Amino acid sequence: MNCSRRHKSLNSCSGAFSPASFLSKKELLTVQSLDRDYNFLSSVESCLDRCARNRAKIPSKNHALRLKKTIEKNGIHYSVFPREMSRAAQNRTFWDQKKKKLFWTIEWVYTKNGSKISGIEHKVPSEEDVVKAYKNFIHKRNIQELLDIDDQRVEFMMKKAGSTVIVFLLVDTNNHYRQIAQFLKQLTKISLYWKALKE
């Protein structure tokens, strides 16, 4: 250890190999030199892979604007949050070009006696029946408290976005417009927040 410190102070050496440092022809032909070069190239490759993976996770601004236009072509007013906000990070709503379908991210919220159970579900098809989507959610999550409730006693509400006060609109699940897209068209703005209430 003392030897290493003395070497670093005498030679102004950091202890780390610099891939740009000059090596003579004789030094280049050693196994150690080959190992150093291989390790350097491997570290560059893994750094590039890591950057590509991280970049793929962050949707571009253009992607968000294209999604907004697609949603609005379907008759739904849609607000885009800045990417830095947690709500924007949670939202994985997307347009599937092959299937020509919108898939939504929905937050399901259940309240009872002041307590709240919530969970986010991704890939909910736009034409999905609201009650069916809710049942799928509680079965996937195996929320026993919600599985025991009679479906007829559950009311669905949507939180209206863009309002200065929190407003929940009751969703009529008895009519033939039970598809998620139909309800979204009735609102001026949406924030994809569903609430299921027990009577």
Looking at residues 36-51, what average pLDDT do you find? 85
Q: Which residue has the higher pLDDT, 100 or 173?
A: 100
Is the model's pLDDT at 190 over the cut of 50? no
pLDDT at residue 127, as a whole number? 85
pLDDT at residue 61, as a whole number? 61
% of the chain residues with pLDDT over 90: 0
CA distance 184 to 170: 12
**Residue 186: φ, ψ to 5°:** -80, -15
pLDDT at residue 191, as a whole number? 41
pLDDT at residue 147, as a whole number? 74
Fold of 76-198: Ubiquitin-like (UB roll) (3.10.20)
Looking at residues 166-177, what average pLDDT do you find? 65
Number of H helices, E strands in the chain: 8, 6
Q: Which residue has the higher pLDDT, 194 or 5?
A: 5
pLDDT at residue 136, as a whole number? 85
Is the model's pLDDT at 69 over the cut of 50? yes
Domain boundaries, the chain: 2-56, 76-198
Name residue, tokens 């890939």. Answer: 123
Among 6-10, 43-47, 70-74, the least confident range: 6-10
Residues 6 or more apart from 156 whose CB is under 8 A from it?
130, 131, 134, 170, 171, 173, 194, 195, 196
Judge contact between 159 and 108, C-beta under 8 A: no
The DSSP secondary-structure symbol of 14 reads: -
Task: For 79-90, give one letter per residue: b (16+ CB within 10 A) or e.
Answer: eeeeeeeeeeee
Q: Where are the beta strands (DSSP E) in 85-189?
A: 94-96, 101-112, 115-125, 154-160, 167-171
Confidence of residue 165 (pLDDT cuts 50, 70, 90): low
Judge contact between 105 and 130, C-beta under 8 A: no
Q: What is the average pLDDT value for the chain, to the nearest integer? A: 74
Q: Write out pLDDT tens, residues 76-134.
A: 777 777 767 777 778 888 888 888 888 988 888 877 777 777 788 899 888 888 878 88
